[in-house]
Structure 1
Amino acid sequence: MKRRDFLKSGAKGSLASGLLLTGANLEAKDKSPGHGLVSNRSKDNWQQLSNGEKGTPERFKNINYKVVVIGGGMAGICAAVASAREGVKTLLVQDRSVLGGNASSEIRVLVNGVNHLQPDWIPERETGLIEEILLHNRFLNPQESFSVWDHVLYDFVIRETHLDLLLNTQAINVEMKGSTIKKAICWQTSTETEFHISAEQFIDCSGDGLLAATAGAEYRTGREAGSEFNEKYAPKEADGWQMGASLLIAGKDMGKPTPYTPPSFAIPFDLKKSHPKRKVRSFNEGYWWVEVGSQNDIIADQNEIQEKLMGYVHGVWDYIKNSGEYEGTENYALEWIGSVPGRRESRRFMGDHILSERDLVDHHHFDDAVAYGGWSLDEHNPGGIENLEEPPSYFHYHFKKIYQIPFRSLYSKNIDNLLFSGRNISQTHIALSSTRVMATCALMGQATGTAAAMCVNHKTNPRGIYKKHIKTLQEKLLINDAFIPDHPSVDTNDKVKEALQITASSTKSGNASLLNDGWSRDFNGKEHHWASTSLPATVNIDWEAPVDLSSVIVKCDTNVKMNIMMRNNYNNKKIYTDKVPPELLKSLSLQAKIEGKWVDLGSLDNNQTRRIKFNFDQIKTTSIRIKMNETYGLDYVKLFEVKAFENTIIT
Structure 2
Amino acid sequence: MIVEGASAPRDLKTVEIEADLVVVGGGLSGVCAAIAAAREGLKVALVQDRPVLGGNASSEVRLWILGATSHGGNNNRFAREGGIINELLLENQFRNPGGNPVIFDSIVQDWVSREQNLTVLVNTQVFHAVTTDNRVREIHAFNSQNSTMYRLSGAFFADSSGDGILVHMSGAAYRMGAEKAEEFDEPMAPGNNYGELLGHSMYFYTKDVGHPVDYVAPDFALKDVPSLIPRYRRFRTTEQGCSLWWIEWGGRLDTIHQSEEIKVELQKIVYGVWNYIKNSGEFPEAANLALEWIGTIPGKRESRRAEGDYILRQQDIVRQIVHEDDVCHGGWSIDLHPADGVYGDADGCNQFHAKGVYGIPFRCMYSRNIENLFTNGRLLSASHVAFGSSRVMATSSTVGQAIGTAAALCVKAGVLPRDVAKPEYLPTLKLSLSRAGHYVPRYDALVDGNLAHAAKITVSSSLALSGLAHDRGYKQLTASYAELLPGRTDIDNVIHVPVRAARSTELNVELKIAEKPENHTPETLVSAVSLPLDAGEQTVAIPLPKLAQAQYVFVCFMENPDVEIGLSSECITGLVAVKKGGLDKVSTTARQEAPSELGVDSFDFWVPERRPGGANIAFDADHPLHVFDAANLTSGPLRPTSAPNAWMADRADTAPEVKLGFETPILARKLILYLDCDYDHPLESVQYRHHDRVMPLLVHDATISVNGRVVAEIRDNRNPVLAVDLSEERQIDSLSLRLANRQGHAVSLLGLRVE
CA separation in 1, counterparts of 2:697 and 2:292?
35
Aligned to 2:736: 625
CA separation in 1, counterparts of 2:146 and 2:738?
52
Query: Would you say 1:267 and 2:230 are equivalent positions?
Result: no
For these two proteins, the number of residue pairs brought into alignment is 586
* SS in structure 1 of the partner of residue 669 of structure 2: strand
Q: 1:357 aligns with which of 314, 319, 330?
A: 314
Q: Are 1:535 and 1:630, in contact at CA under 8 Å, matched by a contact in 2?
A: no
Q: Are 1:278 and 1:391, in contact at CA under 8 Å, matched by a contact in 2?
A: no
Q: RMSD across aligned C-alpha pairs, in angstroms? A: 2.4
Q: Are 1:114 and 1:123, in contact at CA under 8 Å, matched by a contact in 2?
A: no
Alignment of 1:457-476 (within 5 A): 457-467=412-422, 468-476=424-432
CA separation in 2, counterparts of 1:347 and 1:60?
30
Amino acid at match of 2:706: A
Aligned to 1:480: 436
Aligned to 1:641: 751
CA separation in 2, counterparts of 1:131 and 1:504?
30
Amino acid at match of 2:670: S
Q: 1:530 aligns with which of 648, 653, 659?
A: 648
Q: Are 1:240 and 1:296, in contact at CA under 8 Å, matched by a contact in 2?
A: no
Alignment of 1:277-426 (within 5 A): 279-286=234-241, 287-326=244-283, 328-387=285-344, 389-395=345-351, 397-426=352-381
Query: Would you say 1:592 and 2:547 are equivalent positions?
Result: no
Q: Are 2:251 and 2:338, in contact at CA under 8 Å, matched by a contact in 1?
A: no
Q: Are 1:102 and 1:109, in contact at CA under 8 Å, matched by a contact in 2?
A: yes
Note closer, same or farther for the CA distance 1:267–1:276 as it changes in structure 2 (3 Å cut): closer
* SS in structure 2 of the partner of residue 214 of structure 1: helix
Q: Which runs of 5+ in 1 are unaligned?
A: 1-46, 571-575, 646-651
Note closer, same or farther for the CA distance 1:490–1:582 as it changes in structure 2 (3 Å cut): closer
Amino acid at match of 2:667: D
Aligned to 2:55: 101
Following TM superposition, by how much is the alpha carbon of 1:327 offset from its aligned partner in structure 2, in angstroms?
5.0
Between stretches 410-419 and 504-513, larger displacement belongs to 504-513
CA separation in 1, counterparts of 2:278 and 2:701?
50
CA separation in 1, counterparts of 2:68 and 2:203?
22
Query: Would you say 1:552 and 2:671 are equivalent positions?
Result: yes
Q: 1:438 aligns with which of 393, 398, 404?
A: 393
Following TM superposition, by how much is the alpha carbon of 1:175 offset from its aligned partner in structure 2, in angstroms?
1.0
Q: Are 2:194 and 2:339, in contact at CA under 8 Å, matched by a contact in 1?
A: no
Following TM superposition, by how much is the alpha carbon of 1:473 offset from its aligned partner in structure 2, in angstroms?
0.2
Alignment of 1:503-514 (within 5 A): 503-507=459-463, 510-514=628-632
Following TM superposition, by how much is the alpha carbon of 1:135 offset from its aligned partner in structure 2, in angstroms?
2.1
* SS in structure 1 of the partner of residue 29 of structure 2: helix
Note closer, same or farther for the CA distance 1:250–1:391 as it changes in structure 2 (3 Å cut): same
Amino acid at match of 1:314: Y
CA separation in 1, counterparts of 2:654 and 2:108?
34
Q: What percent identity do the matched residue pairs reach?
A: 34
Following TM superposition, by how much is the alpha carbon of 1:497 offset from its aligned partner in structure 2, in angstroms?
2.2
Q: Segments of 4+ in structure 1 off by > 6 A?
A: 51-55, 237-240
Following TM superposition, by how much is the alpha carbon of 1:600 offset from its aligned partner in structure 2, in angstroms?
1.6
Per-residue CA deviation, residues 573-622 of structure 1 (Å, 9 max, x unaligned), is xxx546222322221111122xxxx1222121132311000012143233
Note closer, same or farther for the CA distance 1:103–1:199 as it changes in structure 2 (3 Å cut): same
CA separation in 1, counterparts of 2:198 and 2:192?
17
CA separation in 2, counterparts of 1:498 and 1:415?
44
CA separation in 1, counterparts of 2:230 and 2:699?
47
Aligned to 2:717: 607
Per-residue CA deviation, residues 263-289 of structure 1 (Å, 9 max, x unaligned), is 111113545875569833553522111
Aligned to 1:541: 660
Per-residue CA deviation, residues 51-75 of structure 1 (Å, 9 max, x unaligned), is 9897956511222111111111110
Q: TM-score, normalised by structure 1?
A: 0.85
Aligned to 1:155: 110
Alignment of 1:492-511 (within 5 A): 492-507=448-463, 510-511=628-629
Per-residue CA deviation, residues 515-570 of structure 1 (Å, 9 max, x unaligned), is 11132111134443424425442111233332222210001111111122323244
Q: Are 2:195 and 2:338, in contact at CA under 8 Å, matched by a contact in 1?
A: no
CA separation in 1, counterparts of 2:284 and 2:411?
61
Aligned to 2:623: none
Amino acid at match of 2:641: F
Amino acid at match of 1:471: P
CA separation in 2, counterparts of 1:613 and 1:605?
13
Following TM superposition, by how much is the alpha carbon of 1:89 offset from its aligned partner in structure 2, in angstroms?
0.6
Following TM superposition, by how much is the alpha carbon of 1:200 offset from its aligned partner in structure 2, in angstroms?
0.2
Per-residue CA deviation, residues 110-138 of structure 1 (Å, 9 max, x unaligned), is 11112236656756211110011122223
Aligned to 1:194: 149
Aligned to 2:567: none
Following TM superposition, by how much is the alpha carbon of 1:296 offset from its aligned partner in structure 2, in angstroms?
4.6
Note closer, same or farther for the CA distance 1:353–1:305 as it changes in structure 2 (3 Å cut): same
* SS in structure 2 of the partner of residue 585 of structure 1: coil
Amino acid at match of 1:587: D
CA separation in 2, counterparts of 1:213 and 1:458?
28
CA separation in 2, counterparts of 1:279 and 1:512?
53
Per-residue CA deviation, residues 313-372 of structure 1 (Å, 9 max, x unaligned), is 112222222333345222222221111100000000000000011111110101101111
Q: Are 2:446 and 2:753, in contact at CA under 8 Å, matched by a contact in 1?
A: no
Aligned to 1:64: 18
Following TM superposition, by how much is the alpha carbon of 1:297 offset from its aligned partner in structure 2, in angstroms?
2.1
CA separation in 2, counterparts of 1:185 and 1:271?
48
CA separation in 2, counterparts of 1:321 and 1:254?
14
Q: Which runs of 5+ in 2 are unaligned?
A: 466-627
Per-residue CA deviation, residues 9-66 of structure 1 (Å, 9 max, x unaligned), is xxxxxxxxxxxxxxxxxxxxxxxxxxxxxxxxxxxxxx923x9897956511222111
Between stretches 223-232 and 634-643, larger displacement belongs to 634-643
